[in-house]
Amino acid sequence: MSTHDELASLASQFSNKDFRSRHFAPVRWEHGASSKALPFPRGYVWSSLSKALQNANTGPIMCLAPLVWQLEPLVHSCTQAQQRPIISVSAENPLLAKAYFDQLEVSVMVTTPEIFNTLQTKLAPELTRLSKIVIVHASPASVNLSESNTDLPVVDEIHLVPGLWLATRDCGDTTFSLNKTLTWKLDSKNAEVALELPSGSLSKYISLEYGFDKANHKQYIVRV
Amino acid sequence: MSAEFGKLQKMYVHAMENPYSDFYRAFYRSDALSNINSIAEWHSLPFLTREDIEQVPLSDRIFTPLEEVSAFRATSGTSGRKPLITPRKGFTTFPKAAMNCSGLLLFYNSPHLITRGRDEMKKDFPIVVGSFNDTEQSVQLAAHIGVDALFCFPFQLQELIPLLQKYDIAHGMKSIELTGERVSEREYTMLRTIFPNAEIFPSYGATELQAIAAYGDEVPTPHQNILRPSPHFFWEIVDEYGAVVTHEGAEGSLVLTSLNIELSAFPLLRYAIGDYMRIAAIDEQKNVTYYKPIGRPHVDIVKIPGGILYAENVLSVLDDIHPDITNVFEGHVYFRNKKVQLDLHVVAKTKKPFTEALRQELAEKISGRIFVGPNNTYQDGEAKGLYENLTLTITNDQLVKNSKRKPFIEHYE
């Protein structure tokens, strides 16, 4: 059973009361996929994005991802805390981004690998003006491990479900950092993460396996 | 002077003396008044249109420091026009449909405005943000989480309703808010049938503005399809000559002015949004005027029984129909009594009066040259009884420009 199948099975246990006062996201990322929702730890903040914004130029933050991923309110929490304007661009109309690039000094864009690829073709010059491009990956499979995009300030993030980040790699870095707000058990090859979820008064735990390639001191997540 | 007029005065001074933007100083130029002392002076201010806004770079029309701007929003650009971007300052909204809900399915391009509005209201219900092109996945999530309220655009209903029924949400739906555009009586009645347990709340807005009106319990009519203006905007209805009309039953173009300085990262003064309204009722005791939306120019073509009206076609006909008229026009398309009528308003080149006979002759000539299909004209449709006779109004005044630059305005009765 894949991790996402496991998550779907786990998510089906939750009902309306478990989603109150909590953020949540679909366990399926694919367009058109049948989906359930996974509630986030209470008070969750997208801390890696907050850090990326702190290290970026001043200016508006653009969120360009499928709305059903529920990312936009999370991004807004980060922009609000740093008194920056948010720009929400619908994934159905990604080239609307050009109108904003033409009229504003957009600082950071949060997007998906697919949309990033589209924009690289259509809006390549505009992307070079960004201070950071945060790409949210469903799996390490879509991360470009060959680092051929080093010309652009790409921050790769691997998320368990959209918005719930597990690992991040800043532009120029060769290794990923794990989300320290989650509880990890690491050995030389595997990682296990504990995640607080609502289920009555109990917390549930899920385990994820990670492999680490330590050749040349590089540490890559290769499997979720 | 009313409290509302006091707000207009304050907004005018705020706009004119703003240290961050000289937009209005440049717009009014030498005609600028230092203050507005009477409603007559207010009425003398020119209308602001979308074209006027578009001519000024975005950075020059932000009336506040950038760190106080909470968001930028843009029109979609799907109509072929360059998107219009406007700044927002701290504005949030809370849908009436969500007041007592246990979960909301939300289709909205800037969902944070509503999730933040919920948080400010100290509510804890989950909000499922839906994708416009992934409606089924959105409804599945809503079904899992459990929602009994819906916020969406009227154009989504055709796709949404079968899905809400498929995932067994429709029957338990307690409230539905339809936003953005006019909801017809026909749509309203259909919704009452499909969602027998739901209250229906149409609201009314525009991307460059936000919600400008809502429908409420206070509305003194059996039809809830009547608007009560948002307190954040001052409404004026102007006739085709630009004069403000105020009597019950009067119709005209909607002109809006921002009233809330705190929320105005870009205050609008006498903005001709382009929508047409009828003054439906005036409650003098409560000092509230209610409006019925009667048309929004939203397409460059209008589908009518037996064919399509094309703006390009009308333009080419007007180009050479008579040396004393221009091709500047507004085509009012009325759908009534199972018939369609095109009422064409055209701007004359000179102030020379047109005789009634000439006007009638031109109306017939135009009708015979407007093609609604490959081989049939509007006049053919008149002969078949599909359309009422085309009527022509020739005016010497510039038409009240609608902000969407759409040549047709549809009217439904």
pLDDT tens per residue, range B106-133: 999 889 989 988 998 999 999 999 998 8
Q: DSSP secondary-structure letter at B134?
A: -
Amino acid identity of residue B308, one-letter, is: I
Query: Is the CB of A93 less than 8 angstroms away from the CB of B78?
Result: yes
CB contacts of A97 in chain B (<8 Å) are none
CA dihedral in degrees (B313, B315, B316, B321; nearest 10)?
A: 120
pLDDT in tens, B160-191: 999 999 999 999 999 998 886 666 666 677 78
Q: Count residue pairs from A and B with Cβ separation < 8 A.
A: 134
Looking up tokens 């819906």 gives B150
pLDDT in tens, A28-62: 888 777 789 999 988 899 999 999 999 999 999 99
Q: What's chain B's Rg over C-alpha atoms?
A: 23
CB contacts of A23 in chain B (<8 Å) are none
- Which H/E stretch holds residue B142? helix B135-145
- In this model, does residue A215 exceed pLDDT 50? no
B300 to chain A, closest Cα gap in Å:
21
How distant, in Å, are the alpha carbons of A22, A222, B27, B86, B138 from that of B113? 17, 38, 30, 15, 19
Mutation target to probe the A interface, by most A beta carbons within 10 A, among B73, B104, B133 is B133
Angstrom distance (rounded) from CA B105 to CA B175: 11
CB contacts of A59 in chain B (<8 Å) are 66
Minimum-distance CB partner of A90 among B58, B66, B109 = B109
How many CB atoms within 10 Å of residue B205? Answer: 17
Min mean pLDDT across A8-17, B297-306, B361-370 is at B297-306
Structure ipTM: 0.90
Mutation target to probe the A interface, by most A beta carbons within 10 A, among B91, B101, B110 is B110
pLDDT in tens, B195-251: 988 888 877 776 666 666 665 544 444 445 678 888 888 999 998 788 999 999 998
Indicate left, alpha or beta for B161 from its phi (over 0: left) and psi (-120 to 50: alpha): alpha
Averaging pLDDT over each range in A4-8, B9-13, B80-84, B219-223, which range is the top one?
B9-13
Distance of alpha carbon A208 from the chain centroid: 17
Burial-class residue A57 by CB neighbours within 10 Å (0-12, 13-18, 19+). middle
Minimum-distance CB partner of B134 among A31, A37, A100 = A31
How many CB atoms within 10 Å of residue A51? Answer: 15
CB contacts of A75 in chain B (<8 Å) are 112
pLDDT at B196: 85
Burial-class residue A176 by CB neighbours within 10 Å (0-12, 13-18, 19+). buried
pLDDT at A216: 43
- In this model, does residue B405 exceed pLDDT 60? no
CB contacts of B112 in chain A (<8 Å) are 72-73, 75-76, 86, 88
Amino acid identity of residue A50, one-letter, is: S
Mean pLDDT value across residues B22-38: 89
Q: Is B231 on the interface with A (CB under 8 A)?
A: no
pTM over 0.80: no
Q: Is B144 on the interface with A (CB under 8 A)?
A: yes
pLDDT in tens, A62-76: 999 999 999 999 999
Query: Is the CB of A72 less than 8 angstroms away from the CB of B70?
Result: no
pLDDT at A150: 61
